[in-house]
Structure 1
Amino acid sequence: MRTLEDVYRFEPVPPELTPEEARHVLGTQANVWTEVMEDHARVDYQTFPRLAAFAEVAWSTLPAPAERDFAGFERRMTAHYQRLDALGVAYRPPAGPLPWQRRPGVLGRPIDGPPPHR
C-alpha cells in the first residue's frame, strides 16, 4: 500500500524526460476505483488524506517541478483534518485506523517493489 508520504513524494513529470518532452505533461489524475469498495466510509478512508497530498503534488509540480516539504504538509493538514471532521469524512487518521476502520482478517494488496520516489 502507498503511504501518505509515498503519495506526497510522487513526481508526475519523470526526471528522465527532456524539457521538450516534459512540457507535454499537462496535468495529473488520481483515480479511485469505488466499485471495489464496500461503502462510502471505505472510499473516504482510502482517499483522504491521500487526495490532499496528491492535490499538493499537482499544484506544486506543474508547470515546473518544485521542492516539497512533507513536514510542512503534515502541519498544514492539522487544519484540514478539522475541515474533514466538520464535513463528516471518514478519513484515515495520521496515527492509524480507528477501531471501527480496522478489518481483521482482510489482507491488503501491497504493491510489489519500492515506492516510485526511491
Structure 2
Amino acid sequence: MRKTVLLLVPTLLLGACTWGINPTPASQNVRTAWNGDVSGCHDLGKITVSVMDHVGPVDRNDIKVRDELQVMARNEAATMHADTIKPLAEPSDGSQPWGAYQCGSRVIQPATAPGQPQPSASGGTQTFPVKGN
C-alpha cells in the first residue's frame, strides 16, 4: 500500500501541472507565416522565446512545447507592434528564435512546392476527419 501511494503522489502532482501560457488580447492579431514569404514586410527584429521542454527526467509533449513557443512569440510580437511572426529555426532545448514583421494588410501566402497548385484566394481551407478520432 505504501509503495502504491509513493508512486501515485508524483504522478498526480505532475498531472496537475498546467503551464498556463495564454495568448494576450493583442496577440490575437498576430499571424504566423510558417512557410510564407515575408519579403514585402518590414522586419522589426528577432524574438527568442523559451519554455520548459522537460520536467526532471520526463520530456514534455513536443506539440505542446511548440504550441507554447508560438503563443509566447505572438505575445512578444504584439508588444513590438508586429502583425506577423515567422520561425527562424526549429525549437531546441525548449527555445526557438522567431522573426517579427509588420506586413499590414498584405496577405501572406504559404509556400508550396514547385508544380503544386496555389491555395485558393477565397481562403478555402479544408479539413478532413481522421478515422478513430
TM-score, structure 1 length as denominator?
Answer: 0.26
Structure number with the higher helix fraction is: 1
Structure with higher Rg: it is 2
Q: What is the TM-score normalised by the length of structure 2? A: 0.24
